[in-house]
Structure 1
Amino acid sequence: MLLLFIRERFAWIGFFIFIFTLLNVLFSLDVGLNSISIWYVNISLLVSFTLFFVWRYVNEVGKLKDFLGNMDGYLDEAHKNRLVLTPFQEACFQKIESVFYEKNMELNQAKVQLQEYSDELLAWVHEVKAPLTTINLLLEHIEDVSLRRKLENEWLRLHLLVDQQLHQTRLASIEKDNYLNEVELKPIVYKEIRGMQAWCIEKGIGFEVAELTDTVLTDGKWLAFIVRQILSNAIKYSPVNSEVTIFTEHDPTGATLLHIKDVGIGIPLEDLPRIFQKSYTGTAGRESSQSTGMGLYLASNAARKIGIRIYVQSNVGDGSLFTLRFPLQNEYVKLTGR
């Protein structure tokens, strides 16, 4: 802070050096001043300027630290009335207030517009889900099995995209929407597998599922969404007539781990750190027009907000292993106490 103050008052110091030098030159040139001690004058000037400089430093730096440490308070009218400012400081302060006011107005307007857009998008998604449900029911009446399977597969793709959009819109307010409690893994996993049935039949993909007797602390709806995204990736990148394995275990801390393993093309090492980034499709995703790069991004964000950690192990050609780690009781308490 001292160096900053010296730089700010460099003009003072320069002016003092100029006057100091000028007086010494005059004393040396004017014989009429020989009777006056030049040392007495120099010491007097130096002491006077030093005392003045220290006083100004203590006074101004103290006010600056107080101002910076209580910036929010100075925007309050009651506090501002007790603040003693110079005319220049008052002008700067009023300009800062004006900028803050304008930016706050713009920010509030942007928030309102964003909320309106979010509400409209949610309403649109819910409107789209109604005809999708109707179409799904009508598909059961198509007698041509081959045609029905193709239509069911396309319906599933459309349903997953709408579902992604719905959860992406809700993600910003997940804290208001989630409900953490004891949830059984088995019903959730089996429901999501049944939801992918048309896609699995088309590719000949089966599932090897363990007992899944574990009960975990989480939000059932958001957990289903996370499992759905990981399963859709496993099916998308698995070869035909392959198998996806789902099982659970416990880590050394006692936390439940849900594993979803496929034997697909795997993820290149250079892609692993980025697969949860928004819109990142990776090497494999560039070869598929179906990849949006949003599924794992949304799953990762939703998992983090409800205390689930997602880990990935993968090698090219050997498939991928996605692991969900659920919070323990004490971690759950910390999460709900945020």
Structure 2
Amino acid sequence: MFVSYLIYKKSWIGFVVLLLLLTNTLLLTDSGIQIELHSILYLNGLFLLFSGVFLFVRYKKETSYYKTLKSQMNEVDEGWFERIPTPKNRFPEGETYSILKNVYEYEQTKRSENNASNQASQTDLAAWVHEMKTPLTAMKITLDAHQSNELAQRLQSNWLKVNLLLDRQLYISRLATLDTDLLPEQLEVKTLLRMEIRELSSWCHDKNIAIQLTGDLASIVHTDKKWCGFVIRQLLTNAVKYSLVGGTISIHTEQNDEQSVMVTIKDEGPGIKAHDLPRIFDRGFTGDNGRVQHGATGMGLYLARVISKKLQIQLHVSSVLDEGTSVSMIFPKNNSFDQINRSSM
């Protein structure tokens, strides 16, 4: 910073050097002034020494505020302005502080406007989804009333896909308020699994897919029934979507050495290529399989990961090409309501 300061003060330094040259010229050429050469050199030395000290003192004084400012602004986050030190001088520190304050207030205003706009959009979207649910419910009643009809049977899985997409959109709109919507409770794993399997039963029947439940299904986990159920639904939806007709989806529940509960969902689909595996939880990423399945949006696993983090559930994925994919949900041994709240703050 000192070199930058010297460059910034080059006009001052040039002016001081010019005064020194003029003084030396006057002393050497004016016949009315009698002074020895060594005295001129001594005077020049004192002049340069005092000028250097003055410049260094001014450097320390003028850059101290900016050094503090730079150290506080290494990371710019929501509270960046609160970390800015109060200026000691009106100029130029005070002017700099005033400019940063205006920038901060403008940023806060725009953020509030954007948040209000996003909230309104999410509210409108949620209202639209609820409106769409009404005719879908009527369609479901009609389909259930004509289960013996072949056409009604074929429509069941398509109705389910539309319903799942609307449900996912509804959860997306509620994602911003997830922290205030959590209500953890003690639940059996089989309760969570069977509820979601029942939801996908018509799609499984349409593809002739069998679902096998093994392990300790009576294991107890502490989680939110609605949001955890949504995560399981996303994982099962992917398993059914990529399973071949007549395939089998295996769901195994066990307790590991740390007494945490692990639920593993394994399909017999095409598997995931090694170069796609690290990115499957990225928002909008569909991978090679998603390009084959034109209905893939890349949102299911992204939402599953976001919600799982809030619920303190770990997700682990392993896959073998042409053999299938396994997704494990690891529920911690201790997961109290207070812990979940702390993790979301």
Residue 149 of structure 1: aligned partner: 153
Cα deviation, residue 53, structure 1: 1.7
Question: Quick one: distance in 2 between partners of 1:330 and 1:12?
Answer: 66
Instruction: Please name the residue that 1:294 is paired with.
Output: 299
The structural deviation recorded for 1:60 is 2.1
Could you say what secondary structure the match of 1:172 adopts? helix
Match of 1:60 in 2: 62
Deviates more, 1:8-17 or 1:267-276: 8-17
Kept after mapping to 2: 8 A contact 1:307/1:332 = no
Partner of 1:35: 35
Stretch moving more, 149-158 or 133-142:
133-142
**Letter aligned with residue 15 of structure 1:** F
- Does 2:149 align with 1:160? no
- When residues 33 and 213 of structure 1 are mapped into structure 2, their CA distance, relative to the original with a 3 A threshold, is farther
Structure 2 residue aligned with 1:45: 47
CA distance in 2 between counterparts of 1:74 and 1:188 reads 46
Contact 2:81 2:101 in 1 (8 A): no
| Structure 1: segments with no counterpart, 5+ residues | none
TM-score normalised to structure 1 length: 0.88
What percentage of aligned pairs have identical amino acids? 32
Q: 1:23 to 1:129 in 2, by over 3 A?
A: same
Alignment root-mean-square deviation, CA? 2.7
Q: Decide which moves more: 56-65 or 293-302.
A: 56-65
Q: Give the equivalent residue in structure 1 for 2:228.
A: 223
CA distance in 2, matches of 1:255, 1:27: 90
> Is 2:208 the partner of 1:204?
yes
Measured at CA, do residues 330 and 22 of structure 1 come closer, stay the same or move farther in structure 2, by a change above 3 Å?
farther
Q: Which runs of structure 2 are paired with 1:232-243 in the superposition (5 Å)?
A: 232-243=237-248
Please give the TM-score of this superposition, normalised by the length of structure 2. Answer: 0.87
Q: Which amino acid aligns with 1:101?
A: E
Per-residue CA deviation, residues 79-122 of structure 1 (Å, 9 max, x unaligned), is 97x84312x54444444333333332222211111111111111
Q: Does the Cα contact within 8 Å between 1:278 and 1:294 map onto a contact in 2? A: yes
More moved, 190-199 vs 139-148: 139-148
How many corresponding residue pairs? 333
The gaps in structure 2 that reach 5 residues or longer are: 74-79
Give the distance between the partners of 2:147 and 2:58, measured in 1 at CA.
92
Aligned ranges for residues 40-189 of structure 1 at < 5 Å? 40-65=42-67, 69=72, 72=81, 83-86=88-91, 88-142=92-146, 144-189=148-193
Q: Is the 8 A contact 2:266 2:324 kept in 1?
A: yes
Alpha-carbon distance between aligned partners in 1 of 2:61 and 2:336, rounded to the nearest angstrom: 49
Residues in 2 aligned to 1:252 and 1:14: alpha-carbon distance in whole angstroms: 75
Tell me how far apart the structure 1 counterparts of residues 149 and 294 of structure 2 sit (CA, whole Å). 26
2:157 partner amino acid: N
- Select 2:274's aligned residue among 246, 269, 275: 269
Bigger drift between 107-116 and 246-255 goes to 246-255
3-state secondary structure, aligned to 1:173: helix
